[in-house]
Amino acid sequence: MTATDTATSRAARLLGRPFDINGLSLRNRIAMAPMTREFSPDGVPGADVAEYYARRAAGGVGLIVTEGTYVDHDSAGGSHRVPRFHGEAALAGWQRVAEAVHAAGGRIVPQLWHIGTDRDQGQGPVPGAPSVGPSGLGLDGNAKGHTMTGADIDDVIRAFADSAAAAERIGFDGVELHGAHGYLIDQFLWSRTNRRTDGYGGDVASRTRFAAEIVEAVRAAVSPSFPVIFRLSQWKAYAFDAKLAADPAELETLLAPLAAAGVDAFHASTRRYWLPEFEGDDLNLAGWVKKLTGKATLSVGSVGLDKEFVGPQGFAKESASTGIDLLLDRMERDEFDVIAVGRALLADPEWANKALTDRVGEATPYNAGMLRTLV
């Protein structure tokens, strides 16, 4: 057996293993990470969006997590070109996307999204709607937007549940709830943006209540076997050193209510998957989540590339392709279950098949110019 044969068999053996999330069978351990593209005029995904995702499924991806999609709340989003997951036209478009991905052999879940006070007043599909958050604060801790009332909270919870029910109805394979990167759910989780003194604020467990109630409502709105994935992160957009949890004990306190509410898998977002999350142990964030909850986990962060996509120096203009030996080492010890790939898959729809056959050296390198087209 040659060295190439050995490497090929290792990649195929580790990344090519099937995996199951609450009855959803994935053909391998490679997922497509959600990436905002803004190619859906008036929030409606068209044939080009369906073809974009289907190409990745045909290229070997086991699970596709769509770009973030706005739930049905006037303040949910800030762009007319980000897709929404409500309304007859948008849902018809998304149904065609799911059908195209299934025809190519893949599985797909929409990422349901509310951006909270990241939205600037006057932006988005409903310009007159107020920007809302748990305490009327932006990510910098300064005043921004409207502090959500109990009625506001109920409306948003209902919007997530309605979109999840729609996802099951039109043929998707599960849903992912966007609880990361400083958007609305994460704003409730983070102490800098959640200064509430009612039952939705205070200590770590109380700050988790909003997220847990969304999970509970989603779980009640869909079938018991319909997978619910929850995305979380420590870092926030422009707050790269932010921490929801300073140590594993705090992380467990945050995760336990979400797991109990019905999360089937956690998608732990980091900018570099190979970095340890806490001192004294090599586990990354997804590894800790799996250890603490026993739930399925997805990891993510600059897979196959030599630069993270965003950091203190701004957005990376280009990133060279790299090998995946470090990834295979972590997969071999089952630190996490599925690896999500972002820019490398944006650059090369065949990245998954190339990784499975030890041909990542042939993958097309990423550059920021690729964001201007949907290919």
- The set of catalytic residues is 183
CB-count burial class (<10 Å; 0-12, 13-18, 19+) for 370 = middle
H or E, element range at 315: strand 314-315
Instruction: In whole angstroms, give the CA distance from residue 299 to residue 341.
Output: 9
For residue 318, pLDDT beyond 90 = no
Measure CA of the first residue to CA of the last residue in the chain; give whole Å.
37
Least confident of 176-190, 274-288, 312-326, 354-368: 312-326
pLDDT at 319: 58
Q: What are phi and psi of 159, to 5 degrees?
A: -65, -40
Give mean pLDDT, residues 213-228. 98
For residue 2, pLDDT beyond 90 = no
Provide the token pair at 101.
């991905």
Helices 248-261 + 209-221 axis angle, to 10: 30
What are the pLDDT digits (tens) for 139-194?
999 999 999 999 999 999 999 999 999 999 999 999 999 999 999 999 999 999 99
For residue 315, pLDDT beyond 80 = no
Q: What are phi and psi of 107, to 5 degrees?
A: -125, 150
Provide the token pair at 114.
């509310």
For residue 5, pLDDT beyond 80 = no
What mean pLDDT, rounded, does the chain reach?
A: 94
pLDDT band at 321 (very low <50, low <70, confident <90, very high): low
Strands 314-315 and 228-236: what pairing?
A: unpaired
pLDDT at 320: 59
For residue 7, pLDDT beyond 50 = no
What are the pLDDT digits (tens) for 52-106?
999 999 999 999 999 999 999 999 999 999 999 999 999 999 999 999 999 999 9
